[in-house]
Amino acid sequence: MKYRIFIIGLLSAMSSYVMAESLYLQEMNNTVLSEQQLEQAKEKLKAHKEVVVREDLAMPPFHKRGDVKASLEYSTCTPCHQLPPHTKSVRTRTFMNMHTQFISCESCHFRPKDKTLSYQWEDVRDGTRIQAKTKLFRQVTSHEEKPEERAKSIHAYYKITPFYQDETVVLRKDNQFAQESRRLWEKGTELEKIERRALIHAPLEEKGPECSACHDKKNQLLDLAELGANTYQKNKIYNNIIAQFFERYKDEDSSIRIMRLLK
Ligand code: HEC
Ligand code: HEC
Ligand code: HEC
């Protein structure tokens, strides 16, 4: 026990200069990996294969598909994960990949239960905060507004990102830990890869939140008003027919009638 506390103390002392930066990094620094976590990582590593990705799995992100891909290159997750990252769930993958246009990986996969995070728009290239505004949302504000016009003000580099105590949770790609991870992933021994994979995923959730976490007024994982959405946009997001469908039908065989989508 003493030994363990010593190690934790040592690790946090060594990394205290980055501690203020990111809650994600803090959580990793405080992680003592269990045998089970390492064993799991070993299995996962075995299962991991480089898949050649067909370009067009995701819903067309308006006119800027190239930008979406480029924007995801800034994520510390993508050196190891394919673009788009969601492949396993045939039902939801297209939607989850589409959300990576405007929501960072960490918003959905980093959700520590004992901490309250807030969500803001961030430029993924350098971590600058983007002032909340209506125009950042894809959802057009009225029927008169042309989607093409709106698309011009949309930027794949601006994503909704978690913050903790006013600091971004997301690690930047040039962060020392992230660079080290990339190096290990390319050149490390099998054991180094297993340990790194286990550490990176220890604070993460295997699955993202349910659709209703963001698309149901009752839950509000994201404070849409704080992100700049106006009442019309909020209502559209809360009354999203596809998200509602996913909440109601958990069974893989359920289908949705096209007529309902058109209403
Ligand atoms: C060093 C390489 C590496 C990095 C960096 C990395 N992952 Fe992974 N991740 C893996 C491997 C290997 C697997 C298991 C096999 C697979 O799914 O391809 C995996 C699996 C996952 C899974 C599926 C559930 C699980 O635990 O197996 C999720 C979710 C995930 N990663 C999210 C992320 C997110 C979010 C980030 C960035 C914050 C990230 N990963 C960064 C290598 C990495
Ligand atoms: C809007 C929420 C959301 C965002 C944003 C998101 N994910 Fe996921 N992710 C999920 C959900 C939900 C699942 C569970 C499977 C599913 O529904 O597709 C998942 C599953 C995964 C898996 C498991 C393997 C698979 O094929 O599904 C990996 C790996 C993963 N996410 C990586 C990422 C990475 C990397 C990013 C950022 C580029 C990211 N996710 C962004 C919600 C999200
Ligand atoms: C972490 C929060 C979050 C989760 C989880 C989430 N969404 Fe969303 N989703 C959003 C936000 C925010 C928008 C609005 C984006 C905008 O207008 O720019 C949105 C938009 C959408 C849109 C409309 C896209 C468009 O361009 O009009 C659909 C469809 C959608 N979501 C479906 C789903 C489904 C289905 C799920 C679950 C499988 C889901 N969402 C889970 C946050 C989320």
Residue written as tokens 């370009």? 55
User: For residues 116 and 125, what is the distance between their CA atoms, to the nearest angstrom?
Assistant: 25
For residues 84 and 97, the answer to whether their CB atoms sit within 8 Å is yes
Ligand nearest to the CA of 109: 1
| pLDDT for res 52 | 52
- HSE, CB side, 13 Å, CA atoms: give it for residue 9: 6
- The answer, yes or no, to whether residue 140 has pLDDT greater than 60, is yes
pLDDT tens digits, residue range 191-207?
999 999 999 999 999 99
Side-chain half-sphere exposure of 260, counting CA atoms within 13 A = 10
Cβ–ligand 3 contact at 211 (below 6 Å):
yes
Residue 63 has what pLDDT?
Answer: 47
Residue 230 beta carbon below 6 angstroms from any ligand 3 atom: no
Instruction: Give the tens place of pLDDT for each residue, 151-172.
Output: 676 788 999 999 999 899 999 9
Cα–ligand 2 centroid distance for 73 (angstroms): 16
Residue among 225, 226, 204, 222 nearest 213 (CA): 222
19 lines ligand 3 (CB under 6 A): no
In this prediction, residue 117 carries a pLDDT of: 96
Position 66 scores a pLDDT of 73
What distance in Å separates the CA atoms of residue 144 and residue 163, rounded to the nearest whole number? 35
CA dihedral 55, 61, 63, 65 (to 10 degrees): -30
The pair of structure tokens assigned to 146 is 């042309």
Residue nearest to atom 33 of ligand 3 (CA): 243
One-letter amino acid identity for 36? Q
61-107, pLDDT tens digit by residue? 444 557 888 899 999 999 899 888 999 888 899 999 999 999 999 99
* Residue to substitute in 200, 205, 207 for testing ligand 1 pocket (most ligand atoms within 8 angstroms of CB): 200
pLDDT of residue 16 exceeding 60: no
Starting from the CA of residue 173, give the closest ligand.
1
Is 179:26 a contact under the CB 8 Å cutoff?
no
List pLDDT tens digits, range 207-222: 999 999 999 999 989 9
Which residue owns the Cα nearest ligand 3 atom 29? 242
| The pLDDT of residue 82 | 86
pLDDT over 60 at 242, yes or no:
yes
| Cα separation values, 143 from 133, 139, 261, 263, Å | 19, 10, 17, 15
Does residue 162's CB lie within 6 angstroms of at least one atom of ligand 2? no
Interatomic CA distance for residues 21 and 179, integer angstroms: 16
Q: Give the residue-averaged pLDDT of 213-233.
A: 94
Q: Read off the tokens for 123.
A: 């430029």
The predicted structure's pLDDT at residue 19:
46
Q: Whose CA is nearest to atom 37 of ligand 3?
A: 211
Name the average pLDDT for the chain: 84
Are the C-beta atoms of 98 and 58 separated by less than 8 Å?
yes
**Arithmetic mean of pLDDT, 251-258:** 64
Query: Cβ neighbours of residue 19 under 8 Å, at least 6 residues apart?
Result: 12, 25, 26, 29
Q: Determine which residue's CA is closest to atom 34 belonging to ligand 3.
A: 243
The closest residue, in CA terms, to atom 25 on ligand 1 is 206
Residue 11 confidence (pLDDT)? 59
Our mutation pick for probing the ligand 3 site, out of 59, 99, 223, 227, counting the most ligand atoms within 8 A of Cβ, is 99
CB of 247 closer than 8 Å to CB of 216: yes
Q: How far apart are CA 217 and CA 221, in angstroms?
A: 10
Q: In this model, does residue 255 exceed pLDDT 70?
A: no
